[in-house]
């Protein structure tokens, strides 16, 4: 069984309660539950973690280096555009990761156009609402299958 860690950045705990026009009506629990069902059907062990605190996300990434995590799926939220600390943590643990966003940051304000993580990511999916997470998870599962069969 392959272990995948899903990380959600600041304010994503508010999903479903505010700004549904931008981020949709689904709550974070609903998104996590949908991913968990999807993961189970592919025999993937999924762990989900959300924090509003940068250091907690850094700590969880560091922990992933020692807890059997093989891939990370991350929506860094606003930390996408600000956090050298999260970038450094991902670089330090050297785990492959996929960056996802509900919205398409490139079609929004200019300050959202730069990501501190994208150049380290295996890939990036954005703009599809909660489907961005499922598409990211599917891409990770395809990569795992490809590495098993090579």
Q: Which residues bind ligand CA2 (CB under 6 A)?
A: 11-12, 14-15, 18-19, 23, 75, 77-78, 80, 101-103, 105, 112
d(CA 56, CA 71): 18
* Cβ contact 98:122 at 8 Å: yes
* DSSP type of residue 65: T
Q: Smallest distance from the beta carbon of 120 to ligand CA2, in angstroms?
A: 16
Q: Decide if 101 is catalytic.
A: yes
User: Could you give the 3-state DSSP secondary structure of residue 6?
Assistant: strand
CB nearer to ligand CA2: give 34 or 45.
34
CB nearer to ligand CA2: give 30 or 103.
103
CB nearer to ligand CA2: give 71 or 133.
133
Residue carrying the six token digits 């999260």:
86
Say which residues have a Cβ less than 8 Å from residue 86's Cβ, sequence separation at least 6.
Answer: 54, 57, 58, 61, 76, 79, 116, 117
Q: Smallest distance from the beta carbon of 104 to ligand CA2, in angstroms?
A: 7
Q: Smallest distance from the beta carbon of 97 to ligand CA2, in angstroms?
A: 14
**Computed over its alpha carbons, how large is the radius of gyration of the chain?**
14
CB nearer to ligand CA2: give 91 or 111.
111
Catalytic residue among 8, 23, 116, 133: 23
Q: Decide if 81 is catalytic.
A: no
Report, as residue numbers or ranges, the catalytic residues.
23, 101
């Amino acid at each position: 069984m392959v272990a995948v860690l899903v990380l959600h950045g600041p304010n994503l705990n508010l999903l479903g309660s505010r700004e549904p026009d931008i981020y949709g009506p689904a709550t974070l629990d609903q998104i996590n539950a949908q991913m968990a069902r999807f993961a189970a059907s592919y025999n993937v062990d999924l762990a989900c973690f959300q924090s509003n605190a940068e250091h907690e996300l850094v700590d969880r990434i560091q922990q992933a280096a020692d807890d059997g995590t093989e891939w990370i799926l991350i929506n860094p939220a606003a930390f996408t555009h600000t956090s050298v600390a999260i970038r450094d943590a991902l670089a330090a643990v050297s785990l492959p990761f996929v960056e996802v966003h509900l919205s398409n940051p490139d079609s929004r304000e200019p300050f959202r156009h730069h990501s501190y993580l994208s150049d380290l990511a295996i890939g990036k999916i954005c703009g599809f609402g909660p489907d961005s997470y499922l598409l990211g998870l599917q891409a990770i599962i395809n990569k795992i299958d490809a590495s098993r069969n090579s």
